[in-house]
Chains A and B, each alone.
Chain A
């Protein structure tokens, strides 16, 4: 899992049926101090956890599909947690 900030929303009407009703965000990976790391990526939000500007934890690779209630979706990055505080 990695830390990131939601910097944008992706809208798509025509998509595979497994991700219908699931929002997609553009997430900028950051360090715990808030510095930018790597390039932004598109991340699905199956549990409706995040909103624009939020600091989130996202999971990549095939574990991302596990964040869906159905357990299967053709994605490789999903938001799993909204960060309240880093201490």
Chain B
């Protein structure tokens, strides 16, 4: 799993059936101090995140299938939590 900032929302009409009714966001992976790190990911919202939120993203093959109770779900990245606060220190 990784920390990310929700940046943009994607709207679409032509999609795989598993994506019907789901909110799709572009998330930017970040370091604990909030600086961007690496390339953007596309993630499906599972907890009710909004643009600008710091979130925890992740997923593994087959997870979205059981989470959404679908027969086939070509979904890799899920937004799993909205972060309230991060406590961290350098080693």
Question: Which of A's residues lie within 8 Å of B, judged by CB?
Answer: 1-3, 29, 31-32, 37-38, 47, 49, 57, 59-69, 71, 78, 80-87
Q: In the complex the two chains form, is A67's CB within 8 Å of B72's CB?
A: yes
Minimum CB–CB distance from A19 to chain B (whole Å) comes to: 15
Minimum CB–CB distance from B9 to chain A (whole Å) comes to: 6
Total interface residues in chain B, CB < 8 Å: 31
Given contacts A32-B26, A62-B61, contact A87 B9 (CB under 8 A): yes
Q: How far is the CA of A86 from the CA of B62 in the complex (A)?
A: 27
Given contacts A31-B40, A63-B61, contact A81 B14 (CB under 8 A): yes
Q: In the complex the two chains form, is A82's CB within 8 Å of B15's CB?
A: yes
Minimum CB–CB distance from B71 to chain A (whole Å) comes to: 7
Minimum CB–CB distance from B75 to chain A (whole Å) comes to: 6
Closest 9 CB pairs of A and B: A67-B74, A1-B42, A62-B61, A81-B15, A66-B74, A82-B14, A80-B16, A66-B72, A85-B11
Q: In the complex the two chains form, is A61's CB within 8 Å of B11's CB?
A: no
